[in-house]
Amino acid sequence: MHSSICTNGQRNPGQKPISMRIITKNNYESLNAKILNYRSNPILTLLEEIKCYIMWKMSSNKLKMVARMRPLAHMQQSCLEKEKRESNKGIA
């Protein structure tokens, strides 16, 4: 279990580690920048644009991974194997 140390030195086990908070914050800022043009639209249009953006981002990342011919690092490979096992548990 990860635990982070607050600025006052106390441990806060319910809080994410700093690196995870930075990644999450960057993702939020990136998404906010992308949807800035669509905020004036109705909610369904906004959600449709977000869905299209996420699908485009996932497909571009998949193309990057297909083009990658080198083996993955051990930690990346173990995370990939874990995700593969977890993805088989879904209901089709």
Q: What's the gap between Cα 74 and its chain centre?
A: 20
Query: What is the DSSP code (8-state) at residue 10?
Result: -
Report the mean per-residue pLDDT for the chain.
77
Contact 82, 74 (CB under 8 A): no
pLDDT exceeds 80 at position 29: yes
Which residue carries 């083009």 as its tokens?
67
Q: What is this structure's pTM?
A: 0.48
Quick: pLDDT tens for 39-84: 888 989 888 988 988 899 889 988 988 887 788 888 888 988 888 8
Nearest Cα residue to 24 out of 35, 14, 32: 32
